[in-house]
Amino acid sequence: MSKRNLIVSLLLVLVLAVSGHVLAGKPTILVSPKGTDSPYWLVVKAGAEAAAEEFGANIVWQGPQKETDIAKQVNVIENNVIKNVDAIVMAATDANALVPPLKKAQNKGIPVITIDSGVADDSVVMAHVSTDNEKAAMKAADILAILTGEEGEVGVIPFVAGAATSMARENGFKDGLEKYPGLEVVATQYSQADIATAMQVTENMLTANPNLKAIFAANLPGGVGAGRALKSRGLEDDVVLVSFDSGDTLIKQLKEGSVDALVVQRPYQMGYLGVQYAIKAINGEDIPEFVDTGSIVATRSNLNDPVVHKVLFPNE
């Protein structure tokens, strides 16, 4: 073998050693949601799987069952970094706690794309795909103002303290209410992204604030739980409920009257674009640093609008 051919052969061996299974087959991408069995995250999963099939990748779907299990997600990220996955697409359960494991990924050259919920240190991620949560929450404030006639006491149900998405929606909603001096936030209680807890904190709000006129729930479990609490007290016609997200249960509650409006995200697009950009990053292609997937407001009066229907039922 000539010296030139020997050098070429050694370089090829080195490339194979570094990139391993990327060259041998499809890249493997960890997709880590904040909760594996929530209807919202299952729509994200459907989008991720569609992109993986279209662009040629294997998806590993791993994360905590509950959005409050931050330690579980940290372990998932760290274990997959050790396994040397080709890219990570994840929604952070906590904006700060997930930074150290993502730095480990960065140090190993593993591209990280965050979706839905980002982290406090943008330098450890290549792109963030999500709703502009503060802007969308301001839409919730606007529709709530319309439905209440711009006056009354308001309760706010964020989900997890420390989660970037929860904080952005709480802050965006409260900032949006500043345009309406007749509306006053009198209670803020966290649902822990759990329907039963949301029911309980809604009951607590109603008991402590008998003149409560409206509630803003910042995610699907909060909206479902608050809607059930209002229905159990027969207050569907007396207390306005605006919730983030959609899903079969929330849409049914909207139709039946225990929920009055939904600020609907595009979780399918988040999953799809997250995986698409991960594949581009693996291949060394340029990707945008931030993509706002947008949101719409759904009410009983516009449910049959084609645009609204498509966002509510992305798989149809």
Give the model confidence (pLDDT) of 173-224 as tens digits.
Answer: 999 999 999 999 999 999 999 999 999 999 999 999 999 999 999 999 999 9
Q: Do domains 3-131+267-285 and 133-264+300-312 have the same CATH topology?
A: yes
pLDDT, residue 263, reads 97
Alpha-carbon Rg for the chain in angstroms: 22
Structure token digits, residue 67: 């959005």
Model confidence band, residue 25 (pLDDT cutoffs 50, 70, 90): confident
pLDDT tens profile 114-166? 999 999 999 999 999 999 999 999 999 999 999 999 999 999 999 999 888 89
CA gap 300, 253 in Å, rounded: 10
CA gap 41, 69 in Å, rounded: 15
CA distances from 152 to 56, 234, 244, 302 (A): 53, 19, 20, 25
Which CATH class name applies to 3-131+267-285?
alpha beta
pLDDT, residue 313, reads 86
Alpha-carbon dihedral sign for residues 38, 43, 47, 50: positive
pLDDT, residue 2, reads 53
133-264+300-312 CATH: 3.40.50.2300
pLDDT, residue 16, reads 41
Model confidence band, residue 254 (pLDDT cutoffs 50, 70, 90): very high
Average model confidence (pLDDT) across the chain: 92
pLDDT tens profile 39-57? 889 999 999 999 999 999 9
Average pLDDT estimate for 71-84 = 97
Q: Which of 307, 298, 315 is nearest to 140 (CA)?
A: 298
CA distances from 172 to 23, 36, 167, 252, 312 (A): 45, 26, 8, 26, 23
pLDDT over 60 at 12, yes or no: no
Regarding pTM above 0.85, the answer is: no
pLDDT over 90 at 168, yes or no: yes
CB neighbours of 21 closer than 8 A, spacing ≥ 6?
27, 28, 86
**Residues 226 and 198: beta-carbon distance below 8 Å:** yes
Average pLDDT estimate for 6-26 = 49
pLDDT tens profile 278-307? 999 999 999 999 999 999 999 999 998 999
| Of 4-8, 197-201, 248-252, the least confident | 4-8
| Of 29-33, 161-165, 224-228, 246-250, the least confident | 161-165
| Domain ranges (residues) in the chain | 3-131+267-285, 133-264+300-312
pLDDT cut 70: percent of the chain above it: 92
Model confidence band, residue 113 (pLDDT cutoffs 50, 70, 90): very high
pLDDT tens profile 82-97? 999 999 999 999 999 9
Half-sphere exposure of 3 (CA within 13 A, CB side): 0
